[in-house]
Amino acid sequence: MKIAMIGSGAAGSVFAGYLRRGGADLTLVDPYKEHMDKIAKDGLTFVIYPDHEYQLTGFKTAYNANDIGTMDIVIFMTKATQLVQAVETAKPCIGENTVLVSLINGLGNDDKLVAAVGPSRVIYGSGSLGTALDGPGKCISSPGAREIQMNFGAVENNPLTEKVGKYLEECFTNGGCPAKFWDDVRPPLWRKIVSNCVLNSLCAITRLKAKDVLFDPNGHRLALQVATECCNVAAACGVQMDVNAWMEGVMKSANTGIGDYFPSMAQDMLMFKRQTEITTLNGAISDYGKKYGVPTPGNDFISGLVLCMEANYDKQYEG
């Protein structure tokens, strides 16, 4: 099957690295010219933390989807806030039987794909691993502690989505990223949403790595508050979660690679000073909380604080 990765920054490149190691036929699409050109010329330097490095070749690259041909699978790894526009610009490579896949963090990404092609050709999920881009042509993966690192499922289970889902499961797993195509992906997806709401936002605000937040008494207390609110919202949405079990799991993983890096929102705010995905994470938890009558004061405060900070990067103190 031919796969296009729309959005091939840190996460897109890491996911593409695992897929390519698993034998996938991949076209990377990203406007980051130097990155695309480096991969086209020399391949992708793919680092799995802490000490495994691979030079992967055989990728096709493009700055946009205009001339890459019709794909069997189109995976979107842009920012969630860019997804609607990304689907529009990817139309030249989307055919009548193309399955659209979102592996983007946050809530509501599946709805955006369904709006474009209907529910019968949409798969959604996320990965439980850290990602970073170390300059053009080089990406770093920091696997987490969970046995399954990539979780996804179909909006509507049918022969086409099952065929694509099982193929992606095979490629990811053979490439070194254990994956599962679920009949109901909501439980593992919500676990990842809680992780993102807790670690991404708190690391961005505190300017700390995940392990430093979790091992600090005040950071731990804040993490528990945010996680508790998220689990309460998940329950209102029909997915039961045990916050104590979640906290136990995240504390176990804190000393692994995923605890020793700055999550994507922290990278956005601290390194690149760009728009974050806060509205699809903590902001979405606040929205669902209002909808279902679930109090979310911690997520409300964090959402407002991050939005204030990202709107005023140019005015912040530079010591």
Position 145 scores a pLDDT of: 64
The answer to whether residues 127 and 89 belong to one domain is: yes
Same domain, yes or no, for 256 and 311? yes
Domain count, the chain: 2
Q: Specify whether 61 is located in the same domain as 93.
A: yes
- Dihedral angle over CA of 301, 303, 304, 310, nearest 10: 140
43 and 154, same domain (yes or no):
yes
Contact criterion met (CB below 8 Å) for 112 and 101: no
Predicted confidence at residue 74, as pLDDT, reads: 98
Q: Count other C-beta atoms under 10 Å from residue 159's C-beta.
A: 7
Q: Cis check for the bond before 143: say yes or no (omega within 30 of 0).
A: no
d(CA 266, CA 193): 16
- Do residues 109 and 203 share a domain? no
Res 201: pLDDT: 96
184, 212, 244 - which closes a domain: 184
Give the residue numbers spanning the domain of 110: 2-184
Confidence (pLDDT) at 128? 86
Q: Structure pTM?
A: 0.87
178 and 208 together in one domain: no
| Cα 188-201-178 angle, rounded to 5 deg | 30
- Show Cβ contacts of residue 50 under 8 Å, excluding neighbours closer than 6 positions: 257
Count CA atoms within 13 Å of residue 32 on its CB side. Answer: 19
- Mean pLDDT by runs of 10 across the 319 residues of the chain is 97 98 98 98 95 96 98 96 96 98 94 97 93 95 84 97 98 97 95 93 96 96 98 97 93 78 90 93 97 98 97 91
Which of 197, 152, 155, 217 lies closest to 178 in space, CA to CA?
152
